[in-house]
Amino acid sequence: MPSLARLLGLAALAVSASAIIPPGHQGALNQTVNVSENDTPTTDNESIVNTIGQVNQKSGAATHSTPPSAPVPPTTVTALDSSLTNTTLTDVASNSTAPSSRRRRSRPAKRFADDDLLPAKRQQSSYTQVFSGLAPGVHDASIEGTAYLTYTVVPNSTYNVDACLDWCDTVEDCVFVNLYYEFNDYLLDFVFSQQSNLVCAAYSDIHNATEKINFGGQTSYPQVGNETVPLTYITQSSGWAADSLTEPEDPDGYTLVFGPTGGANNAPGYMGFAFLSFYDVDGCAALCNGRGADPVGGGCSYFNIWRAVVDGTPTTYTCSMYYLVANETTAVNYGQGDLVVTYSRGYSRNNLVIDGGFEGYNACDDFCLTESYANWIGSSPSGGDYDASIIHFQDYAHFGQSSALLGAAFGDDADAGTLTPAQKLKTVAGQTYVVQVFFSSSFSSEELEGPAKVDILWNGKRVGGTSGFVASYTFTQSDTVVGTGSDVLSFVGGAAPAWTFVDDVKVFEV
Ligand SMILES: *[C@@H]1O[C@H](CO)[C@@H](O)[C@H](O)[C@H]1NC(C)=O
Ligand SMILES: *[C@@H]1O[C@H](CO)[C@@H](O)[C@H](O)[C@H]1NC(C)=O
Ligand SMILES: *[C@@H]1O[C@H](CO)[C@@H](O)[C@H](O)[C@H]1NC(C)=O
Ligand SMILES: *[C@@H]1O[C@H](CO)[C@@H](O)[C@H](O)[C@H]1NC(C)=O
Ligand SMILES: *[C@@H]1O[C@H](CO)[C@@H](O)[C@H](O)[C@H]1NC(C)=O
Ligand SMILES: *[C@@H]1O[C@H](CO)[C@@H](O)[C@H](O)[C@H]1NC(C)=O
Ligand SMILES: *[C@@H]1O[C@H](CO)[C@@H](O)[C@H](O)[C@H]1NC(C)=O
Ligand SMILES: *[C@@H]1O[C@H](CO)[C@@H](O)[C@H](O)[C@H]1NC(C)=O
Ligand SMILES: *[C@@H]1O[C@H](CO)[C@@H](O)[C@H](O)[C@H]1NC(C)=O
């Protein structure tokens, strides 16, 4: 026998529920849910510019800490959100849902083959001299610049430019070499087996004579008795640049939106930035994938990578991340003062869901709803009515004008609806993905929304969801799922008046 208090409670519930105008009749929300793209943060170019003034990515072959032809080191993150760092991509992007062993190496450590092992059809690039060395015998300087890859020594019987350029062709991403003699270097003279002091240093960016700043002057030979140790010095330092720069391949799971241009994005949905040791689009994609979701905007969906040139010198490679997809119309930050933006490219993260924001449903100016349209299908169990629907009404939407609703739109029944994309997702078999979505279960009231529940199903299997009252729109990410090549995503739930709104559905490769 129910207590009097419980009976009164039920009566109160019935009264308040019946007083609610359901979403299908354009009822008022108990809690405001919509956010506007225009209210989101835009690129903090000031912080980027300040950090460019602090970072130092200059490097060269001058200190031979490794023998010639060592593998190219992996990309490092030299700054993260205005703090200088010196960490690997993996450390920074550890938030990525991908198991680290599966993540593609952004810059595979490369072993240099012996000459007779080189691929037969090796591509022979042509090079142009950027600057020449000073006369033999005159002390010169080697380059200290960004994007230093590795070095080798080439036979020093002559000033062997060809051997240096040929070697550059074998180094992934090499577009520039600095060739010079280095004297009084103990390792070159006595330790390394090549027995040559003609150094060829490879870079993945082009430098010029203004960056000849390493004049040697170190002691390298051991002290013997009280003899004066000779200091290192450099002669005939020349620079050679590849004539054609290769277009980077799109990173896995991304598509080039624009570029290269001289304008960085000044766009909404900004999530922060990092500086990289190389112009590494795969590295920037890894950071975007690993970036923690923004509570308002969700996961990183777009990045802008560009090279900062300060006083004519390449200084760093900026990776800016966004939860809203931008394009060239906002790529209007060309630099200021000594800073020039170069090689700016934008990449959007491929969302396998077509029209995940339901914006394709715009059959009216203000308010209308449907069970299905070209991109999404809502269905009800037999006897149910509008248990899953798509509503065009800005007040109910997260971003944009439209969103989806689970639970009878007109409040006629308490059945769970099913919402699914009209087309199966064209995944890659064996590839892992996550589902990202915003849910809001706060239409009626905290009390009435208590039983709210929506499951995210991947080929019918539950991989995540939401339950209970959810104030405003809240970001939710599923477990990692595996693609089969053609997959069915669905959202199942709702039981009016425990309605749940669904918006901005994304399926991203991880
Ligand atoms: C929201 O629901 C609560 C009951 O849980 C009610 O007291 C409040 O007035 C409602 N607010 C609005 C704006 O509907
Ligand atoms: C930031 O970008 C805006 C718009 O392009 C520009 O007006 C402003 O001067 C920039 N500020 C800095 C510090 O770059
Ligand atoms: C970054 O760290 C690595 C390994 O700890 C070190 O070898 C390198 O010199 C550091 N680079 C800078 C610029 O501090
Ligand atoms: C070539 O390099 C070796 C090792 O550094 C050095 O001993 C030799 O003098 C160099 N030869 C010439 C012609 O510079
Ligand atoms: C170097 O040492 C030797 C003997 O150890 C000594 O005779 C000589 O004077 C020293 N020369 C100098 C310049 O100190
Ligand atoms: C990692 O995720 C946490 C929690 O979501 C977040 O606070 C942090 O900023 C994220 N780190 C990076 C590098 O995105
Ligand atoms: C190269 O050096 C000159 C000055 O010698 C400078 O004006 C120019 O901007 C530098 N940088 C590039 C990328 O050409
Ligand atoms: C660029 O983005 C803006 C804002 O999202 C959008 O209105 C515009 O249509 C886009 N332009 C192109 C060419 O995609
Ligand atoms: C939703 O956002 C729009 C534009 O920002 C605003 O005009 C409208 O009042 C908002 N609706 C609610 C319910 O806050």
Q: DSSP for 27-92?
A: PPPSS-----GGGS-B--HHHHHHHHTT----B-SSS--S-TTPPPPPPEEEEETTEEEEEEHHHH
The residue whose C-alpha atom lies closest to atom 6 belonging to ligand 1 is: 445
pLDDT of residue 94: 67
Q: Identify whether the C-beta of residue 287 lies closer than 8 Å to the C-beta of residue 324.
A: no
Which ligand is located closest to the Cα atom of residue 146? 3
Q: Does ligand 2 come within 6 angstroms of the Cβ of 318?
A: no
Q: Does ligand 9 come within 6 angstroms of the Cβ of 34?
A: yes
pLDDT of residue 291: 94
Q: Does ligand 6 come within 6 angstroms of the Cβ of 291?
A: yes
Mean pLDDT by 10 residues, the chain (510 residues): 41 55 94 81 96 95 82 94 92 57 32 32 73 96 96 97 96 95 94 95 96 95 92 97 88 97 98 97 95 95 98 97 98 96 98 98 97 98 96 96 98 97 97 97 94 98 96 94 98 97 97
The rounded Å distance from CA 481 to ligand 8 centre is: 31
Q: Does ligand 6 come within 6 angstroms of the Cβ of 295?
A: no
The residue whose C-alpha atom lies closest to atom 8 belonging to ligand 7 is: 312
Q: Does ligand 9 come within 6 angstroms of the Cβ of 394?
A: yes
Rg (Cα) of the chain, in Å, rounded? 30
Q: Does ligand 1 come within 6 angstroms of the Cβ of 30?
A: yes
Residues near ligand 8 (Cβ within 6 A): 327, 329
pLDDT of residue 103: 32
Q: What is the atom index within ligand 1 of the atom nearest the CA of 29?
A: 14
pLDDT of residue 123: 52
Q: Does ligand 6 come within 6 angstroms of the Cβ of 345?
A: no
Taking CA atoms, 111 is separated from 32, 85, 200, 353, in Å, by 58, 27, 17, 40
The rounded Å distance from CA 294 to ligand 1 centre is: 28
The rounded Å distance from CA 41 to ligand 2 centre is: 14
Number of H helices, E strands in the chain: 6, 27
The rounded Å distance from CA 224 to ligand 5 centre is: 11
Domains identified in the chain and CATH numbers = 4-30+354-509 (2.60.120.260), 41-58+249-349 (no CATH), 106-245 (no CATH)
Residues 6+ apart with CB under 8 A from 98: 289, 432, 480, 510
The rounded Å distance from CA 28 to ligand 1 centre is: 10
pLDDT of residue 435: 98
The rounded Å distance from CA 101 to ligand 2 centre is: 40
CB atoms within 10 A of CB 238: 20
The rounded Å distance from CA 85 to ligand 3 centre is: 10
Tell me which residue of 49, 58, 42 sits closest to 82, measured CA to CA.
49
pLDDT of residue 253: 95
Which ligand is located closest to the Cα atom of residue 87? 3
The rounded Å distance from CA 93 to ligand 6 centre is: 9
pLDDT of residue 124: 58
Q: Decide: helix, strand or coil at residue 186.
A: helix
